[in-house]
Amino acid sequence: MTGYDYGNARLRARRAALLRREHYAGLVGRDVTGLVTALAATSYRPQAEAAADDGSSSSSSSSRKAELLNRIARDHLVAALTGISGFYRSRARDVVTALLGRFDVNAVLTVLRARHHGTPPEAACALLVPAGRLSAEIARQAAREPDLPAAARFLAARRLPDPDTAAALVSAQRRYEIDADLARVEKTVTRSAHAHQVTVLAAAGPEAGPAVAALRRETDDLNLLLALRLREAAAGGAGTTGGEGDRDAYLPGGVVPVPLLSVIRRAPARADVVTAAAPAHPSWRGPLAAWAKGGNLAALHAGLETERLRTQLRVLRSGDPLSAAPVVHYVLAHQAQARNLRLLAQAAVGAVSHEETRSQLVTPI
């Protein structure tokens, strides 16, 4: 056995609780109260009933209504992911821990940003997903530290988000005490955590192949967006000189080579970006074409994420049951489901159209 058999069997038994296409057909177009009512007839029942009990769904504030649905999505995601690493053993458990480590990284970055900006701890931690090693209580304690360096030392002492990144965080906070450069700290944490994940998955054997493939594809999407942000910065007069320094700008572990990302960054027109980038991943063509017509990077990010999740979930659904495929599918399916609910929340309060929401929904099964 590979260490995946028991855990994958447990997660397959949970697959029936995922929302299906017919569920989403009945959710699009509803207001917040209607969404909460409809969700109460699904696996979201505990979270929807808790929301109904506190009366938030009747609030007249659009932002409060959206926050309510975001909280339902978050609480359900936490319930779905908490403890699943305990279903696995040996290298398989390392893979699941690495998959859930993204939530630890997000929590660490959120706490550090909160201490930089002076955001109240409860507000900073409200929508964190404590599904990995970093618990909700540890996040709150870190967010109560007096400043970013203190929070960084608190987290690093607990080897969070992972031992390698904790060491990098100690060095980053020392530099922050000199220049107060939050962006530099964020870059250090993100790159180190990503490199740690790449290392863990690469050492986990051939059964971890589906997790490696998923990480590579996500890395390529993120590096494309980084290249385009650098391109926009250069157009605004804040560019870099390029060259060998480009390599440090991107996340490790992707398939798209740095020289191609450099070509994309220097492309003079959006149409040139599409010409250079689309051959690397055919699924990039549609989102890039929409961006080339005048879209912004936030919309491009959403489009890339939609295409990536749809492709990955379709492939992983029929993956080897004794590999990492089922657990990667499970984690991505629940992330997609939470994302869907956030999109429905935005539509319910009029922030986006129902048509746009429908086009971005990802059905996990």
Mean pLDDT of the region 72-99:
96
Report the C-alpha gap between 363 and 353 in whole angstroms. Answer: 19
Mean pLDDT of the region 357-363:
96
Report the C-alpha gap between 100 and 104 in whole angstroms. Answer: 7
User: Amino acid identity, residue 252?
Assistant: P
Can you give the C-alpha Rg of the chain in angstroms?
A: 21
**Would you list the DSSP string of 178-246?**
HH--HHHHHHHHHHHHHHHHHHHHHTT-GGGHHHHHHHHHHHHHHHHHHHHHHHHHHHTT-----GGGG
The residue among 245 and 211 whose pLDDT is bigger is 211
For 238-286, the pLDDT digits (tens) are 655 444 456 788 999 999 999 999 999 999 999 999 999 999 999 999 9
pLDDT confidence band for 184 (50 / 70 / 90): very high
pLDDT confidence band for 60 (50 / 70 / 90): low
Question: What pLDDT is recorded for position 244?
Answer: 42
Backbone angles phi, psi at 100, to 5 degrees: -80, -15
pTM exceeds cut of 0.85:
yes
Q: How far apart are the first and last CA of the chain?
A: 27
pLDDT exceeds cutoff 80 at 349: yes
For 33-59, the pLDDT digits (tens) are 999 999 999 999 999 998 877 665 555
Return mean pLDDT, the chain. Answer: 94
Report the C-alpha gap between 207 and 313 in whole angstroms. Answer: 17
Half-sphere exposure of 27 (CA within 13 A, CB side): 30
